[in-house]
Each structure stands twice: as C-alpha cells, then as structure tokens.
Chains A and B, each alone.
Chain A
Amino acid sequence: MLLLTCPFCGPRDESEFAHGGYARKQRPDNPQMMSDDAWVDYLTVPDNPMGPVREKWWHVRGCGTYFTVERDTRTHDITDEGESHAS
C-alpha cells in the first residue's frame, strides 16, 4: 500500500487514490492533423520502463486533485513528487 503525497492534502494512503494512467504527452490540439499511426501511437504506446515511470494519480477519495509522480516500478520508491495539475 503506497504512501502518496497529494499536493493539497499531504501524505495519504493509497486507498484514497485511483491510478490515473501513465503521464503521456499532452493530448494534441489537432488530432485531425496527425497520421493514423501517430494518433494510435499517442493513445496506445506507453513508456513501460523497469525503473522510474511518470504516472498520474487522482485523489478521488480526497480533495479530487490529479497530480503526477515519478515512481520506480521495481521498488515503488517515489523518486519525484510532481506538481499538481490543478491551477
């Protein structure tokens, strides 16, 4: 059970959160301008490292903030507590 640090609430138990997917590149403004392959790539090909991965967490049973952290997939060590996405 991870201990995640919400930018608003501070360190909280994993049971307050939902995994928000890996932190992919920002959704392009113009999907229409992209080739089919590029679009499918953006949607379906994530980074899958054995090591630090950037991912989002949603504080669903908490303040509702989405934030990004860097977590090592081998050890669960949080190597970078990212910033909140909320303005």
Chain B
Amino acid sequence: MGYHAHIERLDTSAIIDLKGRKDALVDWKGSDLPAIPERPNTATDANGLELYWIGNDHWLLRAPLDREEDILRTFDPGSAPHDVSAVLVSDTLVFFSITGPDAGQILSIVSPLDIALEAFTQNGVSYSEAFGLKALIIRRTEGYELAVERSYADMAQSYFTRIKG
C-alpha cells in the first residue's frame, strides 16, 4: 500500500554555481542568462536554462546535461571577471523527482520546509533540511524535485523507499 507518490532518481543536470554581486553578474553575462529572480529562493527560466537565486550573491544555473559543453563555453569559468565566480558543479547534486497525489506528504515527512503554496510559491526553490542533510527543494507543476549531494544519494533513496511504504 503506502503513499501514492512516485519517486524517481533523475539524470545528472548541467549546473554552474555562480557567485558575485548581482550587477557584476549582469555586466558579465546578463544577456545570456534568464532574468535575475526578484525574490529570494525563487527561479526564472529562459531558453531551456533555469536560474535559481538561493543565497546572498549566489545563484545556480541549470540546464539539461547535453547542454553542458554549450553553457561552459558561454559561462566560461576561466573568463569570468575577478568579482564573479563560475564553477561547474553538475556532478555534486543528484536530483529526485517526487510526483503523485501524495507528493506533498512525502515532502512533509522529509523536510521541515513549509511547502504550502502561500509559503513556497509557484516558482519556489530553496535549500532546506531533509533527512538531516542539506537538500535543494524545487516546486514543479507535477510535484517537487529534491536534490542532495551526490554522496548521500543512496541514503536518500533508501530513506524514500522506507517512508513511502
């Protein structure tokens, strides 16, 4: 029996970690990036790229893996100005998708993040705690995505299986 939720480990995404002041970032590659999100812990997207604002002067740029070479050329870490840091971190995160009518229940079991629509809006993305670990939680139309550091992925999988029932 168990909860009506489907939890699936996703393929690796291409991810670039961006740090630096907003104006420095925009100066460097504003035209190639989606619009800079206006509210903390929200996401924007354009041309298949997603931009997550998840900390002070800290963003994640995400794209499907087959575009990794492409975005590395555009956002070449070696050519960033001295006040912007771009680092490839694709392999550091493993994403799980959580969908189905009970997806929200699964989230409420693993994380203290308030995922009600009022608190975690339509384009919400935030780091929070899940199974005692740091996890990136994203709201999707079909449910949620939750990412943990790669080394913890097996444990996360084990945990999900256990709680799903």
Contact = CB atoms under 8 A, between A and B. Distances in A.
A60 B134 contact: yes
Nearest to B130: A61
Is chain A's binding surface mostly helix, strand, loop or mixed? loop
Given A60-B134, A64-B55, A15 B112 contact: yes
A13 interface: yes
B40 A13 contact: no
Interface residues of B, number: 17
B126 interface: yes
Is chain B's binding surface mostly helix, strand, loop or mixed? strand
A10 B128 CA distance: 12
A63 interface: yes
Contacts of A13: 112-113, 129
Given A9-B40, A9-B126, A13-B129, A63 B112 contact: no
Contacts of B132: 15
Contacts of B28: none
Contact of B112 (A10, A16, A64): A16
A62 B125 CA distance: 11
Interface of B: 40-41, 54-58, 112-113, 126-129, 132-135
Interface of A: 8-10, 12-13, 15-16, 60-65, 84, 86-87
23 contacts: A8-B40, A8-B41, A9-B40, A9-B126, A10-B40, A12-B112, A12-B113, A13-B112, A15-B112, A15-B132, A16-B129, A61-B127, A61-B129, A61-B135, A62-B127, A62-B128, A62-B129, A62-B134, A63-B56, A63-B58, A63-B126, A64-B58, A87-B57
